[in-house]
Every structure is written in structure tokens, then in C-alpha cells.
Amino acid sequence: MSLKNVSILSPNPGNGRNIVALGVVNALAKHLRTSIFRPAVSPDETFTDMLLKYTSVDQTRAQAVGVTMPTARLRKKEAREQIVANFIDMNAELDPQARVIVGSDKTRVADPERFSFNADVSADLQSPVLLTVCTIGRSPDEVLETIESCSEVVTNAGTKVIGVFVTGCKDDQTTALKAYLKDCPVHVWTLPFLDMSGLTPSRADEAIALFDEHVPEHELMETLDSPFVPPTTPYAFQYDLLARAKADRKTIVLPEGSDDRIIQAADYLLQSNICDLVIIGERDDILNRGRALGLHSLDKARFQSMEDEQLLAIMVDRLCELRAKKGMTPDVARKTLRDPNYFGTMLVVLGQADGLVSGAISSTANTVRPALQLIKTKPGTKSVSGAFLMCLKDHVSVFADCAINLDPDAEQLADIALQSAQTAKAFSVEPRVGMLSYSTLGSGKGPDVDLVDAATSIARQKAPELELVGPIQFDAAWSSEVASVKAPGNPVAGRVTVFVFPDLDSGNICYKAVQRTANAVAIGPILQGLNKPVNDLSRGALVRDIINTIALTAIEAQRND
């Protein structure tokens, strides 16, 4: 039986929602290692503690909760980040087979966005939703409208309702409600009212018995096994990066130890044991700056002075060997190694680090040049390209080349497509490649279309198994509706996950336009085609951007094992 995830949400959480939560946890715990998770709770609530009594894992309250209600109300972005982080940590610690996520409780403080927040969190946690709606004070029409409006909120968040519980039913309502809701697209169960205000173990047992009486276990299990494609929100993707990096720790070198953002990102990664870091610079200077910034974990890093003569002697000899055909001399090598990017890249060459991240201060050219000269490209690869992982509302796409090649020829464009497909696969994105143009499958003519057409043919010859379409316009690649008109019958059009742009202008403009207008998280650029992972930062990178880039560099390094 596969891992089960399910959220229990209600627009009016109370007695009925609590009965459902207890019943679902108890039913799953009979068969599977079942944990609970409460994304946002008040410190003094007791329902979480009662739920914990029915789990089948040894779980503490600290492992079961995300954030406080005030944080969820007032700092929703921060709350979602913390909830996902705690959820991932809980899963790593307990390894459950089933996870029941119970939405926030009602409080005396009004929060108009409470239900939509819980729906967003369910999408972040890649969970379908069991919806509970109370019938007390509602006509059948109003119950149905409530189900429909809540389902729309859940769908807009990126997940879906897979079952509905109508609670608080009187005996004379049940038959009429079932008849009224018979055309509901998901299974609907009705539950009578039970006062849960005095929550005691005996009352909880009574609630479970009531649930079992009205909800056949096989129907519940069939519903939980219904087809569901988990969404991938930006929060889920970012923290999955951290979890994957943490699972097999690698060492990443950071040449820009003088930048506050770099050492703040380093402190977070070191505190969370995500990866090992080599920070280039003087240890005392960096630690003093860290203390001034209120950082506490920097001392876990290895600090590498650029004045280390013993190391420099080794680097000079190796650099002269690597660049012998270019006439490299010891004096020139020593001068070259005054550049932190060259110095850091040599640490990767010497095996003292698994990858490098730079660019917070340096230009892209200054980050890439040492890598091209010293680490070099993979066999059979003609050029390096730059891809971005674009984390949209409920999925991740790959955009390339958005950073390196100005006007790639057909061979380079085909290489970019194949490199980007591999990048997608490495980060659990099913690669379906679209070679972008102003023409869709011959609708337009011109030398630019011919270039993309030739690149598509080359890529198809090199990787005949790859799902690939081109030339294709962005809208036909993105939208199944547009594809049905512009590329009818094509199995990739409208489903593209890897977007290959014909030149740097279009790629760079498009990724930034999507990033800013669609509130997408752009992670990268990932430098594709190198023997060892080296990744570039934007000089406007935020601390979170740097954390993400270091984590994905560590994951790339895992692939080189």
C-alpha cells in the first residue's frame, strides 16, 4: 500500500470536523503506521493531544505541529515555509505510511483567509482533501453551495477534494440530504451531531464509534486510494531540495565569504545540517561578522584562507598542469589564484569540495570562466548552458537557456534541450521538451524557424526516446486548449515541462517576466554540461535564493557519485 496523505478541512471547524479527524486517524492506524500533523494551532488547544493517542507511531506534540495561529494569520508566507519544513522533518524522523493533516481550529479572532490558507497548505504538503461541512443552520441548497465553493477554493490552491462529510445531521435530514447530494462528483457521508465540547477519552471513543457506524471502512479506504496527482508548490519544492541534500551531505565551496547574504545562507544550511561548506576567507573576520549579524552556526564551516602557502603550492602546480597548453607559468598561476573564483574552483578540482556556488558579487562570466577552464565540460558536450527551475503555483518547469549562450546554433540548441531534460529528471520533473519559436509545427516560415526545426531534428536523433515537440509557440506548449487548436493530436504539445528558448534574449526576458508577474520562484541558473556542479547566483539574489542554489548544487553533486 502506497504512502497516504490526506487533509481534513472545514469552513467551520468544530464538533463534526473533530469526529471525522478522530475517525480517519483511527481507521488508518489499524492498518498503517499513521501520524498526524496540525499546520497551525493555538498553544493551549488539546485536540492535537487527543489525536496523538490514536496514532500508530511514537509521535510527540512537537513533531505534530507547524506554527501558531497568530503566525498563520499575520505572516502567511513565513508560516507556509515553516509548516513545510516541520512536516518534512516529521516524516524523516517517523517514516509513517499514512499522514493525516488536520486544519486549523476556529478561534475568537476572525481570519477571513483561514480556509484558503489551509487549502494552500494542503497543496504545499501534497495532500488531497476530505471536506467536512456542518448542516446545522443550513438548508440542503446551502450545504451544496458550501461544498461547491469550498471545493473551488481547494482546486484553485492546486489540490482537490476527494470526499465530503456532512456533519450535524438530524435523523430526519439524513435521507433527504443523501438524495439531494447524490450527484456530487465525490463520495458523501453523513454524520449525526455529537457534542465534543468536553473532550475526554470516553467522548473520543464515542466519536470513533459513531464514525465507524456511519462510514464503512472500505469506502473510506477506496476514497483515499482514488487517483491523485500531487501538486508541487514552490514551498514544497524548496524544502524537498533541502531534504534531498540533507540525505547525502556533500561539500560546497563558497568563494564570496565577505558577502552578508552568503554567510547568512551558510549559517542556515549549517544549522540545519543540510550540507558541509567551505567558505573562502579569513576565519576570524567571517565569524566576527557572523556574530554581528546574530548568526550562531558558522563555526561548523571549514574556512579556507587564500594565503595558505602549503595549499597554494599544490594549486599552482595543478593549475600549470591543467593550462600547460595555454602557456601557464607558476607566476601567472599564482596571480590567477588571487581571484576567489579560481581559488574556489581549484578546491573542487583537487577534490576538497564537490561543487561551487558563486555570483552574489561576481559576474556570471567570472563564475563560469574558471569552471570552463579547469573543471571543463562533460564528454560529448559542446557547450555549457543555464537553466532555471521555475516553481509555479502547483508544478515546476525548466526554462533554458536563460543565462549563457547568446545565439546558439542548431547543435548547441539540441545540446541545451538534452541537458535540460536531464536536469528536469534529476529534480523529479518528467521531461517533456518544447523547442520554442514564433511558429508551431510549420505555421510560420523564416531562418529562425529553420534553426529550431534543425535543432529539434538533431535532438530527436540523439535521444529518440525523449518526448519532444518543435518548433512550437509558447502558448501551444503550455496550454492543452491552445494545443488542441494549433497542434491537434500532438502528444507533447500543451504538456511541455522543459521550455527551450531559441536565444538568450527570449529566455532571459521570459523567465524574469514569469518570475515577477506570476510570483514564481526561479531557482538557478543551473549551469548544465560541466563535469562538476558549479552554479551562478544573481547579484540581486536573496538569502533564500542562495540557500536553494547551494542545496540544488549539493543534489547535483550526489549524481556524480
Indicate whether 270 pLDDT > 60.
Answer: yes
Report CA-CA distances (Å) from 471 to 365, 386, 408, 449, 457: 30, 20, 15, 7, 10
pLDDT band at 249 (very low <50, low <70, confident <90, very high): very high
Bridge-based pairing of strands 385-391 and 396-400 is antiparallel
Long-range contacts of 453-459 (CB under 8 A, 24+ apart): 454/410, 455/408, 455/410, 455/411, 455/413, 455/414, 455/417, 455/500, 456/414, 456/417, 458/410, 458/411, 458/413, 458/414, 459/413, 459/414, 459/417, 459/418, 459/433, 459/435
pLDDT band at 1 (very low <50, low <70, confident <90, very high): very low
Set of cell numbers at residue 379: 564528454
CA atoms of 501 and 498, how far apart (whole Å): 10
Indicate whether 2 pLDDT > 80.
Answer: no
CA atoms of 501 and 229, how far apart (whole Å): 28
* DSSP bridge partners of 303: 279
Where are the strands (E) in 94-177, listed by range? 98-102, 129-134, 161-169
pLDDT tens digits, residue range 133-147?
999 989 889 999 999
Cis check: omega of the bond before 471, within 30 degrees of 0: yes
| Residue 461 near residue 454 (C-beta atoms within 8 A) | no
CA atoms of 532 and 375, how far apart (whole Å): 6
pLDDT tens digits, residue range 225-247?
999 988 989 988 888 888 889 98
pLDDT mean over 510-529: 91
pLDDT band at 187 (very low <50, low <70, confident <90, very high): very high
Q: What confidence score (pLDDT) does residue 312 get?
A: 95
Cis check: omega of the bond before 227, within 30 degrees of 0: no
Set of cell numbers at residue 478: 503550455
Say what percent of the chain tops pLDDT 70.
Answer: 99
Q: In terms of pTM, does the model score above 0.75?
A: yes
What's CA 517's distance to the chain center, in Å? 19
Average pLDDT, the chain: 93
Which residue type, as a one-letter code, is found at position 51?
Answer: L
pLDDT tens digits, residue range 419-450?
999 999 989 899 999 999 999 998 889 999 99
Burial of 522 (0-12, 13-18, 19+ CB in 10 A): buried
CA atoms of 497 and 425, how far apart (whole Å): 11
Can you tell me which residue has the cell 548568526? 295
More confident residue, 197 or 64: 64
Element (H, E) at 391: strand 385-391
- At 384, is the secondary structure helix, strand, or coil? coil
Kindly state the DSSP code that residue 104 receives in the 8-state scheme: P
Bridge-based pairing of strands 521-528 and 385-391 is antiparallel
More confident residue, 445 or 176: 445
pLDDT tens digits, residue range 377-406?
888 887 899 999 999 988 999 999 998 999
| Neighbour tally for 72: CB within 10 Å | 25
CA atoms of 478 and 489, how far apart (whole Å): 15
pLDDT mean over 34-40: 96
Q: What confidence score (pLDDT) does residue 489 get?
A: 94
Residues 6+ apart with CB under 8 A from 134: 10, 12, 14, 15, 16, 166, 167, 168
CA atoms of 62 and 90, how far apart (whole Å): 9
Element (H, E) at 253: strand 251-254
